[in-house]
Structure 1
Amino acid sequence: MRTLRSAALAAGILLAVSQMVPAQAVGTSSGGRHGPSYEWELTPPGSASQFRGLAAVSADVAWIAGSAGQVLRTTDGGKKWKNVSPAGAEALQFRDIEAFGSEQAVAMTIGNGEDSRIYRTANGGKTWTETFRNTDATAFYDCLDFSGSHGLALSDPVDGKFRIASSSNGGESWTVLPNAGMPAALPGEFAFAASGTCLVSGPGRTAWFATGGGDRPRVFRTDDGGLHWKATDSPMASGAAAGIFSLAFRGPLFGVAVGGDFLKPTEAVNAASVTYDGGRSWKLVAADKAPKGYRSGSAFVPWSPATVVAVGPSGSDFSLDGGRSWTQFYDGSFDSVECAGHGFHAGCWASGANGAVGKLVRKH
């Protein structure tokens, strides 16, 4: 139900903020005696907004988007952040942003009806163009992603089915796709606008999105750019405020899912799973090997084929074996994590409440 979803979402945000203690130092943990260790190098942007939208481009370039209509960008590794917010968006909440470099980005706001919008910039945020505005009062867009110039945006169910908007030109224009190829939603089922990773794109026309809220979470997969989807039940926990919050894939087959209950951020009950067949089946991560709390964001790191990072309001974890086991290395709060780039230019970033931003540092 929309009312329950909205109330639970608002309560979860307030709880996460109230329980968060701003970190004064980075956290460090080793993956083993001879394994790597990781830490967050904090790069605060000078804003108190909650930045759930995050786009990593490289170790130097990243974009963050959040509450109060704010969008910020760094091109020097976080030493300086520039406010590049779209004019007139102060009353909106950005929850996702995807960037194609230091100049081009597409950002999405959430909310019922016309509060769900998509903006695009081609000049580093100097100017923005609104390229999509939802006009259906019952739609609520949660997240978007791109594979090259092809983009998909996900809305919670409308008339009993999840809704997909599609772009074929890098976000310059959008078309709401027909829903004939979308399976019916479960009672109470929806997606989480928590980190911009409830929907992720894969190779070619492949994409996945994850859900919660019903009697079981599910992962939906498309192989034709969003026209047809197949839903797979997940062994993870679900409920009014629980389910899968984030997906991350390494190629067409290898993926992880993380989540939990955002009203219980320090608890992790059936909060992680892995797939080896492109999301057609999922294996639950054992409780003693799972992240130590609810996690809202996840990403594979560029420099290792099997290393994954997950973040949430109660801490950050890494996995060296593709999500089968996790080690907590930070007890501060982040909502989102994204990685991008190659070689020495690769970088992983995290963002969250009260202007929290960090860059992942790998040590040996």
Structure 2
Amino acid sequence: MKKLLLLPIMVLGYSAQAQVYWEEESTGFATASTGVNEIRYVNEADVWVTGYDGSGGAAQFRVWAKSGDAGNTWTNGAINVGSTNLGIGSLSPISSSTAWTAAFPNTPTVQGGIWKTADGGATWTKQASASFNTGTDSFTNFVHMWDANVGVCGGDPAGGYFELYTTSNGGVTWTRVPSSNIPVPLTGEYGYTRIYETAGSRIWFGTNKGRIFRSDNNGLNWEAFQTPCQDFGDADLGAAFSFDDMDKGIMVFRDWSQYRSVDGGQNWTMDLPEGTIRSGDVTYVGGETGVLVNIGEDLIDGNRGASISGDDGLTWIDLGEAIDAVSAVEFFDFSHGLASGFTASAVEGGIYRWINDLRELLGTQNFQETKAFTASPNPTSGDLNINGKNISSVAIFDILGKQVANYNFGSVNAATVNMGSLNAGVYMVKVSNNEGTSTLKVVKQ
């Protein structure tokens, strides 16, 4: 098949950290190396996830897990959609008992579509009016329900336009959105499983051509906007995005670049954030807060962990705790959050549960004066002036993580490094003192 969202395999071997922000819980999935690729909150206590093959073997896992106590304990089961030739594209729960799933075909001999459970995942029933039956073009990507009645589901272009359906009665009837309501797909354009976001009645989904499709009325009418991303699902060029409200959004690329939008995804501008940004998933904390959580690998060391921001991503704080999370992170509010993990066994591992309060953490652990550094001019064509306290060393890395320069200082409050010989581009400048390190993003003209 073509274009499932690529997910990283498990990486082991992190050193222990002193501070604990997350607690690893068991999802109970029986197969070792089962990862979590989607996290959907119903409320602060009730949450569902779906599992995938994190071993690298690319097997199709049709499994769910859910918690009724904010992720402390989990039950799990199978998403029985009637065929082993179907994979799970996304899951949309509205309660601990009721959820919808989008299933996609792995072979031309089966049809994907939308299934619903009303008994907590024990049984699943297909909603046939979301037919997804336009030959081999039909490929189901996502389903989202705002409540028990109103929802939208979507797939790739079929019959010349994106296959999108809406419902106002819980999926008893799905009606295909007319082609006149949807922008014409680009040549070879398609969507991805699970790459969508919502805020209010607005919903966005991303494509392999780097476009974001947006509907302001629960999927009835659509617009499309080109973004800086070339292909949202690409393992190297892709990006994750999240919206704090109907206008303000952030996009984090797998090459550690960052962009933001203030007009609902129509336009994006590049950021030069300070601190440790990561290459995995990113999410705004629920409630239009300006607070972000970002998981995945850092640029300098390639270690997996989490970073937080209290200023819409202008500054990122590395939590310094190794968690093997890349694929999914979601926060219902400041104290209820989950990040993807991998099972070691049926009784060990699978998901990380947040055990702190982000409000307190941001209030006490934002960059302290002893660790704060500034760099100017930025952009620079030559000298870069770095100011801070007790600067001991400065290392410069290119966007691929290769160290291109290193400077050692005794203990100074101002240092100058020269970037004149470096090629034009974005660089990560790692500044250290006796309190730790901070990473600044600098543009060389």
Larger relative contact order (C-alpha < 8 A, sep ≥ 6)? 1
Partner secondary structure for residue 180 of structure 1: helix
- Between the aligned partners of 1:274 and 1:40, the Cα distance in structure 2 is 28
Normalized per residue, the structure richer in strand is 2
1:299 to 273, 283, 302: 283
Which stretches in structure 2 are left out of the alignment for 5+ residues?
A: 53-60, 298-303, 344-348, 362-445
- Between the aligned partners of 1:26 and 1:237, the Cα distance in structure 2 is 36
1:233 to 213, 226, 232: 226
2:206 to 204, 210, 213: 210
The answer to whether the 8 Å contact 1:208/1:221 transfers is: yes
- Between the aligned partners of 2:164 and 2:46, the Cα distance in structure 1 is 29
Normalising by structure 1, what TM-score? 0.76
The answer to whether the 8 Å contact 1:146/1:201 transfers is: no
1:66 corresponds to which residue? 51
- Between the aligned partners of 2:295 and 2:111, the Cα distance in structure 1 is 27
| Number of aligned residues | 326
Give the 4+ runs in structure 1 shifted more than 6 A: 22-27
1:278 to 251, 264, 269: 264
1:307 Cα shift? 0.6
1:184-263 equivalence runs, <5 A: 184-193=184-193, 196=194, 198-204=195-201, 206-212=202-208, 214=209, 217-238=210-231, 241=234, 245-260=239-254
Write the deviation string for residues 8-35 of structure 1: whole angstroms up to 9, x where unpaired: x48x44xx21x5228797895xxxxxxx
Q: Residue 100 in 1 paired to residue 90 in 2?
A: no
With over 3 angstroms needed to count, the CA separation of the structure-2 counterparts of 1:249 and 1:334, relative to structure 1, is same
Normalized per residue, the structure richer in helix is 1
The answer to whether the 8 Å contact 1:243/1:259 transfers is: yes
Q: Residue 40 in 1 paired to residue 37 in 2?
A: no
2:133 to 132, 135, 140: 135
With over 3 angstroms needed to count, the CA separation of the structure-2 counterparts of 1:351 and 1:96, relative to structure 1, is farther
2:328 corresponds to which residue? 336
With over 3 angstroms needed to count, the CA separation of the structure-2 counterparts of 1:103 and 1:279, relative to structure 1, is same
With over 3 angstroms needed to count, the CA separation of the structure-2 counterparts of 1:221 and 1:78, relative to structure 1, is closer
1:70 Cα shift? 0.8
Q: Residue 57 in 1 paired to residue 57 in 2?
A: no
- Between the aligned partners of 2:15 and 2:88, the Cα distance in structure 1 is 26
Partner secondary structure for residue 101 of structure 1: coil
With over 3 angstroms needed to count, the CA separation of the structure-2 counterparts of 1:210 and 1:276, relative to structure 1, is same
- Between the aligned partners of 2:276 and 2:225, the Cα distance in structure 1 is 21
Normalising by structure 2, what TM-score? 0.64
1:81 to 63, 74, 83: 74
1:320 corresponds to which residue? 310
With over 3 angstroms needed to count, the CA separation of the structure-2 counterparts of 1:94 and 1:26, relative to structure 1, is farther
With over 3 angstroms needed to count, the CA separation of the structure-2 counterparts of 1:359 and 1:181, relative to structure 1, is same
Q: Which has the greater radius of gyration?
A: 2
Write the deviation string for residues 185-205 of structure 1: whole angstroms up to 9, x where unpaired: 234433332xx3x2223323x
With over 3 angstroms needed to count, the CA separation of the structure-2 counterparts of 1:233 and 1:85, relative to structure 1, is same
- Between the aligned partners of 1:172 and 1:298, the Cα distance in structure 2 is 34
1:144 Cα shift? 2.7
- Between the aligned partners of 2:277 and 2:46, the Cα distance in structure 1 is 28
